[in-house]
Structure 1
Amino acid sequence: MIQKNNFTLINPQTGNLAFKLSYFKENNPFDHLQRLNYYSLIWITKGNGNAKVDFSEYEFTEGTLFAFTPYQPFMLNASHLEGIILNFHPDFFCIHKHQQEVACNGVLFNNIYNPPYVTIDEISKSTFEMLMDQIKKEMQNPALAQYELLISYLKIVLITASRLKTEQQPENQIETTEIKEPFILQNLKNYIETHFKTKHAASDYADMLAISPKALAKITKSYFNKTLTDLIAERIIIEAKRELYLTNKSIKEIAYELGYNDEFYFSRFFKKNADVSPQLYRETVGFGKADT
């Protein structure tokens, strides 16, 4: 890739990527499995294909904006793509700490029930193009308070994309002739959110919903394109990552709070789902105390 298509800000303390804007054309840099230790926004401006993300597959077209969290596995299958990539490390901007300001956590990122993308419509397209252009200019000619200005632009990107996705979510919701199934799914979401720290088995949730495990598995796969076991695991991993990044709790303590008495079993579970050990995740993604 030509150098002028990459604009990178490095954290001087760690030497790691803090913030990056890049453009890709003709080649597809995501044609193999990715597990990046920073947040990624990937805007497909030309092309279409198939995306493999976590345990699911999605078709995508021109105008799709993907949002991936650190170490979330993904791959884009397409012969010809053009687009813009915005990467930022949690040390540069932590979405958990700034949730009240940006409210993208659970919408753009860390949403286990909806596809990890939003469609950039024609009205929003000019806004995103303007923002990307401003970010590019600032990174080409850094001046006083560059960090603060880039954070401001990033916040606008995240807020705009989150609003778009919130507006588009009704289109992503389940269409069915049966009223019973969406009610079951809403209850399932609530039960997972309430009990994921103590109940890890799919059968536990089937019992709570008074439905057979087989029937619930069929509904979950049909509506979320994931198994119930996958949904439970993803929710646990989201919480584990948050604790690893935002607190100084030991891995043993985090494991116990998430319902695992065996620290080593939890570590194997985490590595299986995040492709990295809890300790390495903490070390590479960064560590920031919750009160900073």
Structure 2
Amino acid sequence: MNYQNLNIHTNGEFRFSLIEKPFKYSLFNGKDKSFYSIAYNKGQATTVLIDEVPYSFEEQMVLPLMANQTFSFQNPQDVLIWQFNREFYCISNHDAEVGCVGFLFHGSSGTPFVQLNEEERLKLARMIEVFKDEFETRDNIQTEMLLSLLKRLIIFVTRIAKIQFIDSSKIDDVRLYTIRHYNLLVEIHFRTHHDVGFYANELNKSPKTLSNLFSLYNHKSPQQVIHERLIVEARRLLYYTDKSVKEIAYELGFEDAAYFSNFFKKNMRVSPSDFKRNAMMAV
């Protein structure tokens, strides 16, 4: 099962597929386009590699993935995946909460695995049938209908994710917006700004206020969010490109390659040179 909708006026593209064999998405292979993805495992538990880190993808789980994440399913039994580019969905006038900068993709510095209960499974099953029907209906308003259905899907998963990952007694919508905005700013500026002070200034908050806010949300500090984003990108560049450690250090905003190497080793317990060597041997 493979469906596709193309908008020749905006270059928007929306795909809906059933994955039954090994599948990999990567912007580093020069073939895949930039897509946001939402995967749903309605079959047996399997393993998903996200930036070459293995995670258990359990039955009845939904997994939102950002466009810059490399991921693969090794032995999928019954995984459905929705994929869309910015031109299809993100340029629409959606509320930020359910847009491409919304909670699913920027609400957490980690990747949320959203578990469905039986009632939610049935709701999603009905939604999937509507998606199939609409992809098979070819007319001049199909794109608008698919946009509405995609927004409905994102709202559906967002509501469940917020219940599972947010303590509403501690984090209200205003605080959650600040956290989400912080994560988005880090995604935009992590290569050039490694200090919390920059982001605090952008948000008109003090660094201490941000630290207190993040302590309510999870165990990561604002500085940890920056460091983890740098490490993720360093791992990607070391694993998927031929760039030298020195080139990667400069690309990530480190003026001193030695300082970058120490930073990487402190977080990964292996030097970037050894990491790259091991990655090359694993390919």
TM-score, shorter chain, exceeding 0.5: yes
* 1:7 Cα deviation after fit: 1.1
1:63 partner letter = Q
- Per the normalisation by structure 2, the TM-score is 0.57
SS in 2 for 1:113: coil
Partners of 1:200 and 1:232 within 8 A in 2: no
C-alpha distance in 1, partners of 2:96/2:51?
27
Give the match for residue 28 of structure 1: 22
RMSD between aligned alpha carbons? 4.3
Q: Which has the higher contact order (CA 8 A, sep 6+)?
A: 1
SS in 2 for 1:62: coil
* 1:137 Cα deviation after fit: 1.0
C-alpha distance in 1, partners of 2:60/2:91?
24
* 1:131 Cα deviation after fit: 1.5
Q: 1:46 pairs with 21, 43, 46, which one?
A: 43
2:45 partner letter = N
Q: How does 1:230-249 map to 2 (within 5 A)?
A: 230-233=227-230
Q: How many residues of Structure 1 are paired with residues of Structure 2 in the alignment?
A: 205
C-alpha distance in 2, partners of 1:21/1:191?
29
Give the match for residue 82 of structure 1: 78
Q: Structure 1: any 5+ residue segments left out of the alignment?
A: 172-185, 210-218, 237-263, 271-292
Q: Structure 2: any 5+ residue segments left out of the alignment?
A: 28-32, 168-175, 200-206, 209-214, 234-246, 254-283
C-alpha distance in 2, partners of 1:111/1:230?
17
C-alpha distance in 1, partners of 2:248/2:19?
41
* 1:203 Cα deviation after fit: 12
Matched, 1:127 2:123: yes
Question: What is the CA deviation profile of residues 60-100 of structure 1, one whole-angstrom value per residue up to 9, with x for unaligned ones?
Answer: 21111111122222233x43421211111111110785234
C-alpha distance in 2, partners of 1:91/1:17?
4
Give the match for residue 103 of structure 2: 107
1:71 partner letter = N
C-alpha distance in 1, partners of 2:185/2:156?
32
C-alpha distance in 1, partners of 2:88/2:63?
20
Question: What is the CA deviation profile of residues 11-48 of structure 1, one whole-angstrom value per residue up to 9, with x for unaligned ones?
Answer: 3247x6611111123x1313xx6335011111111122
SS in 1 for 2:62: strand
Give the match for residue 149 of structure 1: 145
Partners of 1:202 and 1:228 within 8 A in 2: no
* 1:56 Cα deviation after fit: 5.3
C-alpha distance in 1, partners of 2:78/2:51?
23
Quick one: percent identity of the two aligned structures?
21
Q: How does 1:243-258 map to 2 (within 5 A)?
A: none
- Per the normalisation by structure 1, the TM-score is 0.56
Partners of 2:22 and 2:72 within 8 A in 1: no
Partners of 2:12 and 2:87 within 8 A in 1: no
Give the match for residue 194 of structure 2: 200
* 1:168 Cα deviation after fit: 0.7
Q: 1:136 pairs with 132, 137, 144, which one?
A: 132
Give the match for residue 160 of structure 1: 156
Give the match for residue 59 of structure 1: 56
Q: 1:18 pairs with 13, 16, 26, which one?
A: 13
Question: What is the CA deviation profile of residues 241-265 of structure 1, one whole-angstrom value per residue up to 9, with x for unaligned ones?
Answer: xxxxxxxxxxxxxxxxxxxxxxx99
